[in-house]
Amino acid sequence: MRQILTEPAGYGWSEIDQNELFTLGVPVPIAYAAGMAKLYFYYSTMNAGKTTTLLQSAWNYRERGMHPLILTPVINNREGEGVVESRIGLSTPAYAFAADEDLLEVVEHQLERQNIHCVLVDEAQFLSEQQVRQLSDVVDDYAIPVLTYGLRTDFKGELFPGSQALLAWADNLIELKTICHTGKKATMVVRVDADGYAIKQGAQVEIGGNERYVSVSRKEFKAILYGGKKVKVIDLLGNPQQSRTVAEAADERQAELIK
């Protein structure tokens, strides 16, 4: 039988303070602070640091002796099942859940083993609507905050099912920002072929092949997807013989800087 928790009086933090703490990934004794537990959706386009932010939050909790539960969909297996890994090489084990798995039951099972201070969900765009509602039950029934991280739209500019449900059900929506090669804020993502032209058809879900995706502004998205514009390639390493997407060039430049 599910145990419904009643949240006692909190510590007097204001609503703004609470939101700022979560945005910074700073854990607080959630289960004991009135009104603190919420369902958060951190959304962005590709390569904005969603997974890195999740891993930083998990580290902050663990550093204080607290226990985050990290969830990732089984379909997210590019680094192996049950692994959350960022593009910069940080990784952590995670519970890999199936598309039809009850996430409330997953959390309840984990609670039988140890206390959970926070639930972190990677690639949240792959959640089903029912799973999003189950995560809201985790927040409402157990006073455990749930932080989800995922894409908002796919390469055709359409909402993922999980993202659509989170936009409707989440208490707080936080955009993680990145930029387009035009200098504007990137809000969309395009899938491109080997020649740099937009792919307009295909499955919504394609694991791996991040080099085929480029984050762009809405204006650039329309020019690429509907106007036939080729994705701009920026050579950050000064090597005109190599052709790379913006994301690939940025990654290579970062590797050079680290050396």
Q: Which of 81, 85, 123, 129 is catalytic?
A: 123
At which of 127, 147, 175 does a domain end? 175
* Mean pLDDT of the 134-156 span: 94
Residues 86-119 have pLDDT tens digits of 766 777 788 999 999 999 999 999 999 999 999 9
Q: Are 54 and 139 found together in one domain? A: yes
Higher pLDDT, 177 or 210: 177
Q: What is the DSSP string of 122-176?
A: SSGGG--HHHHHHHHHHHHHH---EEEEEESB-TTS-B-HHHHHHHHH-SEEEEP
Answer whether residue 28 is part of any domain: yes
Indicate the number of domains in the chain: 2
At which of 175, 205, 221 does a domain end? 175
Check the CA dihedral 24-29-35-38 and report its sign.
Answer: positive
* Mean pLDDT of the 240-244 span: 43
Q: Are 215 and 147 found together in one domain? A: no
| Mean of per-residue pLDDT scores for the chain | 77
The predicted structure's pLDDT at residue 193? 82
Q: Are 120 and 168 found together in one domain? A: yes
Instruction: Give the whole-number percent of the chain exceeding pLDDT 90.
Output: 42
The predicted structure's pLDDT at residue 29? 42
Q: Are 241 and 152 found together in one domain? A: no
Higher pLDDT, 89 or 131: 131
Answer whether residue 215 is part of any domain: yes
Domain that holds residue 211: 188-258
The predicted structure's pLDDT at residue 206? 60
CATH number at residue 78: 3.40.50.300
Residues 57-95 have pLDDT tens digits of 888 998 989 999 999 998 866 666 677 777 667 777 889
Answer whether residue 142 is part of any domain: yes
Q: Are 157 and 99 found together in one domain? A: yes
The predicted structure's pLDDT at residue 239? 47
Residue 190 near residue 231, CB atoms below 8 Å: yes
The predicted structure's pLDDT at residue 56? 87
Residues 182-234 have pLDDT tens digits of 899 999 998 888 777 888 766 655 655 555 788 999 999 999 888 888 876 55
Confidence class of residue 47 from pLDDT cuts 50, 70 and 90? confident
Answer whether residue 9 is part of any domain: no
Answer whether residue 183 is part of any domain: no
Residues 25-41 have pLDDT tens digits of 544 443 344 457 999 99
pLDDT at 19 over 60: no
Answer whether residue 181 is part of any domain: no
Q: Are 116 and 33 found together in one domain? A: yes
pLDDT at 147 over 60: yes
Q: Are 142 and 213 found together in one domain? A: no
Answer whether residue 85 is part of any domain: yes
Q: Are 252 and 143 found together in one domain? A: no
Q: Are 48 and 135 found together in one domain? A: yes
The predicted structure's pLDDT at residue 204? 55
Residue 219 near residue 184, CB atoms below 8 Å: yes
At which of 175, 207, 227 does a domain end? 175
Answer whether residue 166 is part of any domain: yes
Burial of residue 4, with CB atoms counted within 10 A of its CB: 0-12 exposed, 13-18 middle, 19 or more buried = exposed
The predicted structure's pLDDT at residue 200? 77
> For 151, how many CA atoms within 13 A lie in the half-sphere containing its CB?
24
Confidence class of residue 165 from pLDDT cuts 50, 70 and 90? very high
pLDDT at 20 over 70: no
Q: Are 42 and 83 found together in one domain? A: yes
Among this protein's residues, is 105 annotated catalytic? no
pLDDT at 7 over 50: no
Q: Are 147 and 197 found together in one domain? A: no
Q: Are 128 and 254 found together in one domain? A: no
pLDDT at 140 over 70: yes
pLDDT at 12 over 60: no
